[in-house]
Amino acid sequence: MGNSGGKKKPVTFDARRRRKYLDELRKGYMHAAASALAGVSSRTTRRHREKDTDFADAAEQAFNEGTSVLEAEALRRALDPVNGSDTLLIFALKNHGWSDRQQVEHSGTINFHVGGQWMDREPAQGDEA
């Protein structure tokens, strides 16, 4: 007995697999991992999202819920009084609009003291000191 021709029977993306896929998204898994955990390819779930707007909406909502789960866990870990993570805290702050970039503008003249003289430029090659 066995499989003739070596071809696998296609897996049906039935209601049970759809629920499993959406449940995994709600846990915070990305689409490819949620698909695999539901027993189907990410291509299958993508195709179903493209042709079924209700399913696409449900997947987007489940994905957003999963993102919230991950954000809450990252914040919990960042603020843990014993094993808190500065890196997670920085990412949490950045997600709230915080930026660690600074832009400093300078105007005016910079004078250099070279060989007993003040100059308003750096000495060029060949200038005497």
Is the residue at 107 inside a domain? no
Residue 124 resides in a domain: no
Chain segment 54-67, per-residue pLDDT in tens: 999 999 999 999 99
Asked whether residue 43 is domain-assigned, the answer is: yes
Q: Which residue has the tokens 């005497």?
A: 128
Compare 34 and 111 and report the one with higher pLDDT: 34
Residue 54 falls inside a structural domain: yes
- Into how many domains does the chain fold? 1
**Is 28 inside a domain boundary?**
yes
Q: Does some domain include residue 4?
A: no
Task: Cite the beta strand spans of the chain per DSSP E.
Answer: 112-114, 117-119
Instruction: Determine, yes or no, domain membership for 120.
Output: no
- Give me the phi and psi of 55, to 5 degrees please: -65, -40
- Predicted TM-score of the model (pTM): 0.64
108 in any annotated domain: no
List, for residues 70-118, the tens digit of each pLDDT value.
989 888 888 898 988 888 888 888 877 888 777 888 777 777 777 777 7
Domain span including residue 32: 11-100
Cβ atoms of 17 and 40 closer than 8 Å: yes
Taking residues 21-44, report their average pLDDT. Answer: 96
For residue 38, what are the CA distances in angstroms to 8, 28, 104, 112?
17, 14, 52, 70
